[in-house]
């Protein structure tokens, strides 16, 4: 009866029934009650029931550890496990599995080798559950030796433990070892294939990932989506869309994550027509539009040039997250709608959504395109004072661009000299580009020197300096710069973002 009330979300009724029948109480009913509180995120009530229990078994402690893990109370987990030992309870394999998973990526993760020792002491190190958890822990530490040792200790290895080994090797940057382990597996499931494909993608080996993907005869939506999103992750947008088309022709239907990746690919290659087709297919498929999918639509339309469509979808979203707000602010900035971008930013902060570093890159970019110097300065300063966000290289580059385009070159130089870290090529290049805009020879050579110390013989430096010298009528220098380029002292290099900005300002 208590379990019935718990399943129907009637915890007050469950507690009343429990209190009215003291004779029927046993450790199972106690566990059911406080497990229900944990299920409904009422950890303080669960703790009260746990403290009231006259007798606790190992299941009681495991439930409590799981609840603290759910609430991300790492210190509570640590002390709970210590108290369990003081009470004389012997942990089981689930205890260790919960404990290791809970302490991962925390300040307590250094205890994992000690937990391994305790598991060995209780003869639980050969357990599949404990072994798999320990393998994840040692992967986090980058400890290949103990990863392999734990795998060898598992007495009965199943496909899950093999998958954990393949995943561990991939996360350690050892794709060759991962492939050898994969080939040795006595049996494989779709998770095995997906783990290997994901691993190759994370190690930027897209050809190998695609080869494994093509080998797999039974592909599900997760594997298709992993490969498509992998292409998107590394900027292979056309390949992503080609694969999405193949998927559409297969027996596997895309889900919201597949559609989101396809829309991101359309945004990446600025293909509005394809983006509209993906959007249409999404609607025909009846896929519910959640916040992630809607945000991908906003981003796609904004990056493909249809800002009004992006706004239409954005305004129709019942729930918006930080990424949604960033997408529409960034879209406004790219379209030169500075005032509109700042209005959206104001709406965002008024709605209680805290901005992040990306938000301020978009806001400052909007100020650059709108020539809003004082607005940009105010927002740049508010990052630290109002939101505790430290300005990074991108933010400084935006401010240098803002000051430079407005003709405040001395302000831009002063900002660079006051940076808490060494400026990179992008910052120096931005200054050089704006010097080209205003034909400032002295500061242009100063910026070129900064670039030269980081990246010698960059062709854009010679081009911009040649432009500035020609505008100043210093033809001897122009001829010399062109000779340097002609004789190969300026090596060909891939264009960066600051080079693109220099072309725009010219």
The Cα–Cα gap between 100 and 133 comes to 6
- Residue matched to tokens 């902060």: 349
Token representation of residue 21: 């029948």
The Cα–Cα gap between 28 and 41 comes to 20
- Residue matched to tokens 């822990």: 137
The Cα–Cα gap between 366 and 349 comes to 17
| Residues in CB range of 70: below 8 A, 6 or more apart | 38, 41, 43
Show the 3-state SS of 302-324.
HHCCCHHHHHHHHHHCCCCCHHH
The Cα–Cα gap between 85 and 130 comes to 18
User: What sign does the CA torsion over 157, 163, 169, 174 have?
Assistant: positive
If one counts every other C-beta atom within 10 angstroms of the C-beta of residue 291, the result is 14
The Cα–Cα gap between 289 and 272 comes to 19
CA-based angle 150:156:162, to the nearest 5?
Answer: 60
The Cα–Cα gap between 30 and 35 comes to 8
Token representation of residue 460: 């854009």
pLDDT the model gives residue 31: 84
Per-position pLDDT tens, the chain of length 506: 445 545 545 666 666 766 666 666 788 888 888 788 888 888 888 888 888 888 899 999 999 999 888 888 888 888 898 899 898 889 998 998 888 888 877 766 778 888 899 888 888 888 888 998 899 989 988 889 999 999 999 988 999 999 999 999 999 999 999 999 999 999 999 999 999 999 999 999 999 999 999 999 999 999 999 999 999 999 999 999 999 999 999 999 999 999 999 999 999 999 999 999 999 999 999 988 899 999 999 999 999 999 999 999 999 999 999 999 999 999 999 999 999 999 999 999 999 999 999 999 999 999 999 999 999 999 999 999 999 999 999 999 999 999 999 999 999 999 999 999 998 888 888 888 887 776 665 676 666 666 555 455 555 555 555 555 455 544 444 444 455 455 544 444 443 444 334 433 33
The Cα–Cα gap between 412 and 402 comes to 8
Closest by alpha carbon to 430, among 415, 443, 418, 447?
447
The Cα–Cα gap between 262 and 244 comes to 7
- Residue matched to tokens 């993760």: 109
pTM over 0.75: yes
If one counts every other C-beta atom within 10 angstroms of the C-beta of residue 393, the result is 14
Could you tell me if 293 and 259 are in contact, meaning their C-beta atoms sit under 8 angstroms apart? yes
Contacts 24+ apart (CB under 8 A), 113-116: 113/146, 116/146, 116/150
pLDDT the model gives residue 30: 81
Could you tell me if 430 and 404 are in contact, meaning their C-beta atoms sit under 8 angstroms apart? yes
pLDDT the model gives residue 280: 95
If one counts every other C-beta atom within 10 angstroms of the C-beta of residue 232, the result is 23
Q: 86-96 as b/e, with b when 16 or more CB fall inside 10 Å? A: eeebebbbbbb
pLDDT the model gives residue 499: 38
Could you tell me if 398 and 379 are in contact, meaning their C-beta atoms sit under 8 angstroms apart? no
The Cα–Cα gap between 299 and 295 comes to 6
Closest by alpha carbon to 469, among 488, 442, 506?
442
Closest by alpha carbon to 127, among 148, 154, 101?
154
What's the DSSP call for residue 419? -
Token representation of residue 230: 């992998």
Token representation of residue 236: 């292979």
pLDDT the model gives residue 454: 46
- Residue matched to tokens 């559609």: 259
pLDDT the model gives residue 9: 55
Q: 421-443 as b/e, with b when 16 or more CB fall inside 10 Å? A: eebbbbbbbbbbbbbbbbebeeb
Token representation of residue 97: 């599995």
Note the Cα 31 to chain centre separation in Å: 37
Note the Cα 137 to chain centre separation in Å: 21
């Amino acid at each position: 009866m208590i379990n019935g009330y718990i399943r129907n979300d009637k915890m007050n009724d469950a507690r009343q029934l429990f209190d009215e029948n003291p004779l029927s109480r046993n450790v199972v009913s106690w566990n059911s009650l406080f497990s229900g509180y944990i299920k409904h995120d009422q950890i303080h009530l669960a703790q009260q029931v746990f403290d009231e229990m006259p007798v606790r078994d190992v299941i009681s402690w495991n439930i409590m550890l799981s609840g603290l893990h759910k609430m991300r109370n790492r210190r509570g987990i640590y002390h709970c496990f210590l108290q369990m030992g003081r009470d004389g309870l012997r942990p089981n394999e689930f205890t260790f599995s919960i404990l290791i998973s809970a302490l991962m990526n925390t300040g307590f993760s250094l205890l994992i080798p000690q937990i391994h020792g305790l598991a060995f002491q209780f003869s639980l190190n050969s357990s599949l559950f404990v072994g798999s958890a320990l393998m994840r822990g040692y992967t986090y530490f980058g400890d290949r030796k103990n990863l392999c040792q734990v795998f060898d200790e598992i007495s009965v290895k199943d496909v899950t433990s093999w998958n954990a080994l393949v995943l561990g090797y991939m996360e350690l940057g050892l794709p060759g070892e991962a492939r050898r382990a994969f080939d040795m597996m006595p049996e494989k499931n779709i998770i095995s294939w997906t783990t290997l494909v994901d691993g190759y993608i994370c190690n930027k080996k897209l050809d190998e990932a695609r080869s494994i993907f093509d080998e797999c005869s039974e592909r599900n939506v997760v594997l298709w989506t992993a490969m498509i999103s992998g292409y998107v992750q590394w900027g292979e947008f056309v390949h992503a869309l080609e694969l999405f088309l193949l998927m559409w022709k297969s027996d596997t239907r895309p889900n919201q994550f597949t559609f989101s990746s396809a829309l991101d690919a359309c945004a990446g290659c600025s293909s509005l027509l394809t983006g509209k087709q993906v959007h249409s297919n999404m609607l025909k498929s009846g896929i519910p539009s959640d916040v992630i999918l809607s945000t991908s639509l906003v981003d796609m339309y904004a990056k493909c040039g249809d800002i009004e469509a992006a706004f239409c979808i954005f305004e129709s979203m019942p729930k918006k997250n930080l990424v949604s707000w960033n997408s529409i602010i960034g879209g406004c900035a790219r379209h030169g709608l500075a005032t509109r971008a700042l209005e959206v930013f104001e709406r965002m902060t008024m709605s209680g959504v805290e901005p992040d570093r990306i938000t301020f890159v978009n806001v400052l970019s909007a100020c650059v395109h709108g020539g809003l110097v004082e607005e940009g300065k105010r927002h740049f300063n508010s990052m630290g004072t109002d939101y505790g966000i430290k300005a990074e290289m991108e933010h400084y580059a935006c401010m240098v661009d803002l000051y430079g385009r407005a003709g405040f070159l001395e302000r831009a130089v002063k900002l660079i000299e006051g940076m808490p870290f060494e400026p990179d090529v992008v910052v120096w290049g931005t200054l050089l580009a704006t010097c080209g805009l205003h034909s400032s020879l002295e500061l242009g050579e100063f910026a070129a020197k900064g670039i030269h110390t980081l990246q010698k013989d960059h062709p854009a430096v010679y081009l911009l300096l040649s432009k500035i010298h020609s505008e100043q009528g210093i033809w001897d220098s122009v001829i010399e710069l062109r000779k340097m380029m002609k004789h190969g002292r300026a090596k060909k290099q891939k264009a960066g973002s600051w080079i693109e900005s220099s072309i725009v300002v010219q």
